[in-house]
Amino acid sequence: VPERKTFHFKPFVVPKELQKNLPYKDKPKVKSVTEGGNALERVAVVLEEPEKEKVNLVQMMRVVQKEKHRKMKEKVIQRVRAHRAECRKNELKQLKRQKELKKRICKALTRMKKPQAKA
């Protein structure tokens, strides 16, 4: 009995026209060789003392920068909230003034109409 060759399937390919219509979660993701590589195949990087210090310094600077950015963002959010509250107050004042003005106008109109009704 002759030995059969093992059949190797071609990788599944989705045509680009169909990919355009797919939602992001269903689109095929292309993994790079390094991303999908085995952990044992990677080369271990051993840093010397000066290099370690530099890496630590850069890392600390990144942390400080992120913290600054976070604080700044928080300040902006606070400022926006305060501004919106101020705008709401102003709108309420304006509505109150308009309501009061309408009241006065309506009262004046009713006063003007009353003498005509008596006559």
pLDDT score of 34: 58
| Residue-range domain boundaries for the chain | 48-109
Q: Concatenate the DSSP letters of all residues of the chain into one string.
A: -PPPPPP-PPPP---HHHHHHS-GGGSPPPPPTTTSS-TTTSPPP---HHHHHHHHHHHHHHHHHHHHHHHHHHHHHHHHHHHHHHHHHHHHHHHHHHHHHHHHHHHHHHHHHHHHHH-
The residue ranking higher by pLDDT, 33 or 60, is: 60
pLDDT at 106: 95
The pLDDT tens digits for 36-57 are 566 667 778 889 999 999 999 9
Mean pLDDT of 67-88: 98
Whether the pLDDT of residue 117 is over 60: the answer is no
